[in-house]
């Protein structure tokens, strides 16, 4: 945070500190004063952020084939499970029918081997058939049973592949434009998705803060955040900071942070630039003064005070963070003291002034 100080000519100010003026004023200089009153102040910091979907999901084909139809409107909301694309199902219907036929054949074989085994078992107990014939019947029965299970698995696989010809939305959100058009040959191993879907609520806002600003945040404390859009309007829903990185970027000197906002009406879109304002809590009985009341003298920050006789005095102050056009005074001032806020350039140390009546 940068603060703009009122800079006075060093020679002029030093002369005011070291020697009386050469001439006597006929009337005291008129100045504006501020009476110091400590107040409880809500501390906030503002940063530039960019919105991002909580989940940006690529929609991909799980089977290959000709893309027959796109069934959604590009850029519009879609619901989880909604059919987005249709791939030619005919080859997969044929495979399913073939798998069902193979299952029927294996079931018939299984029924025969079971009947054979049931017929041979009692004969074996009466020594009417050999041990080999009995063992062969058991082996044939078990093999047929396994073949039935394998055929059933093939039917299930064929049914799944047929269902995959209808490509559905994995999540609810806002759809993107189609990447591959109708009539294209789709490969389920293609690096290109069919489209993407961005989950719109909640929505993330990513932003970076300087190391100095980060020190103002209390570790482990829940931080509330608000947004201001590019057109200056305030987003009506308050959010919460839910992530900060575990290290400072050595190249930028910043740390990445993230806030989360509900977005039920879809007013925010991924990729928007916004202003993020993060609450840092309340500073109890803080003293603040206008930036224009601060005098820069070499490495020191000073203010011009008025004593009980309205004589100008100078005092060094220690400053904290800025809040708008005000700055927190960490030390150097106390309640009830008066400082000059307008007329500093002409004010001279040790000289009386008159107080301008406000209004």
Domains of the chain, residue spans:
6-42+284-355, 45-55+199-281, 59-196
State percent of the chain over pLDDT 90: 65
**What pLDDT was estimated at residue 233?**
93
Q: In this model, does residue 90 exceed pLDDT 90?
A: yes
Highest mean pLDDT among 63-72, 211-220, 271-280: 63-72
Check for a shared fold between 45-55+199-281 and 59-196. no
pTM for the model stands at 0.60
Highest mean pLDDT among 24-28, 44-48, 59-63, 317-321: 59-63
Q: In this model, does residue 10 exceed pLDDT 50?
A: no
User: Where residue 222 falls among pLDDT bands split at 50, 70, 90?
Assistant: confident
**What pLDDT was estimated at residue 207?**
96
Q: In this model, does residue 17 exceed pLDDT 70?
A: no
User: Where residue 151 falls among pLDDT bands split at 50, 70, 90?
Assistant: very high
Mean pLDDT, residues 295-312 taken together: 92
Q: In this model, does residue 24 exceed pLDDT 60?
A: no
Fold observed for domain 6-42+284-355: 2.40.420
**What pLDDT was estimated at residue 14?**
39
Mean pLDDT, residues 74-92 taken together: 95
SS3 sequence of the chain:
CCCCCEECCHHHHHHHHHCCCCCCCCCCEEEEEEECCCEEEEEEEEEEEEEEECCEEEECCCCCEEEEEECCCCCCEECCCCEEEEECCHHHHHHHHHHHHHHHHHHHHHHHHHHHHHHHHHHHHCCCCCHHHHHHHHHHHHHHHHHHHHHHHHHHHHHHHHHCCEEECCCCEEECCCCCCCCCEECCCCCCCCEEEECCCCEEEEEEEEHHHHCCCCCCCCCEEEEECCCCCECCCCEEEEEECCCCCCCCCEEEEEEEECCCCCCCCCCCEEEEEEEEEEEEEEEEEEHHHCEEECCEEEEEEECCCCEEEEEECEEEEEECCEEEEEECCCCCCEEEEECCCCCCCCCEEEECCCC
Lowest mean pLDDT among 132-141, 170-179, 207-216, 330-339: 207-216
The chain-wide mean pLDDT, for the chain, equals 88
- How far from chain centre, in Å, is Cα 267? 15
The answer to whether domain 45-55+199-281 has CATH 3.30.1490.20 is no
262-297 confidence digits (pLDDT tens): 998 888 988 999 999 998 777 889 999 999 999 988
Q: In this model, does residue 15 exceed pLDDT 80?
A: no
Mean pLDDT, residues 74-78 taken together: 91
Q: In this model, does residue 73 exceed pLDDT 80?
A: yes
Q: In this model, does residue 11 exceed pLDDT 60?
A: no
Q: In this model, does residue 65 exceed pLDDT 50?
A: yes
Lowest mean pLDDT among 6-10, 201-205, 244-248: 6-10
**What pLDDT was estimated at residue 335?**
95
Query: Which tops the pLDDT comparison, 20 or 271?
Result: 271
Could you tell me which CATH number the domain at 59-196 has?
Answer: 2.40.50.100
């Amino acid at each position: 945070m940068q603060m703009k100080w009122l800079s006075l000519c060093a020679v002029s100010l030093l002369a005011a500190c070291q020697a009386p003026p050469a001439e006597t004023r006929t009337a005291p200089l008129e100045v504006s004063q501020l009476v110091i009153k400590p107040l409880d102040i809500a501390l906030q910091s503002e940063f530039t952020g960019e919105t991002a979907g909580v989940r940006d999901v690529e929609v991909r084909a799980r089977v290959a084939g000709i893309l027959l139809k796109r069934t959604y409107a590009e850029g519009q909301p879609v619901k989880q499970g909604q059919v987005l694309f249709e791939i030619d199902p005919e080859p997969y219907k044929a495979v399913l029918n073939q798998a069902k036929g193979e299952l029927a054949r294996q079931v018939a074989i299984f029924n025969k081997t079971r009947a054979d085994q049931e017929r041979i078992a009692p004969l074996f107990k009466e020594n009417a058939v050999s041990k080999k014939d009995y063992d062969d019947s058991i082996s044939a029965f078990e093999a047929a049973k396994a073949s039935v299970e394998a055929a059933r698995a093939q039917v299930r696989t064929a049914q799944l592949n047929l269902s995959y010809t209808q490509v559905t939305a994995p999540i609810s959100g806002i759809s993107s434009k189609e990447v591959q058009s109708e009539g294209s040959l789709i490969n389920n191993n293609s690096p290109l998705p069919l489209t993407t879907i961005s989950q719109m609520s909640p929505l993330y806002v990513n932003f970076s803060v300087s190391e100095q600003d980060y020190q103002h945040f209390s570790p482990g404390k829940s931080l509330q955040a608000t947004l201001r859009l590019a057109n200056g309007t305030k987003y009506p829903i308050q959010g919460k900071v839910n992530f900060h990185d575990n290290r400072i970027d050595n190249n930028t000197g910043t740390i990445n942070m993230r806030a989360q906002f509900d977005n039920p009406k879809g007013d925010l879109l991924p990729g928007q630039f916004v202003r993020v304002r993060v609450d840092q809590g309340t500073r109890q009985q803080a003293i603040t003064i206008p930036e224009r009341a601060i005098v820069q003298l070499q490495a020191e920050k000073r203010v011009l005070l008025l004593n009980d006789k309205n004589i100008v005095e100078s005092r060094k102050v220690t400053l904290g963070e800025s809040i708008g056009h005000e700055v927190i005074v960490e030390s150097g001032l106390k309640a009830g003291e008066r400082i000059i806020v307008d007329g500093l350039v002409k004010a001279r140390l040790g000289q009386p002034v008159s107080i301008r009546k406000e209004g």
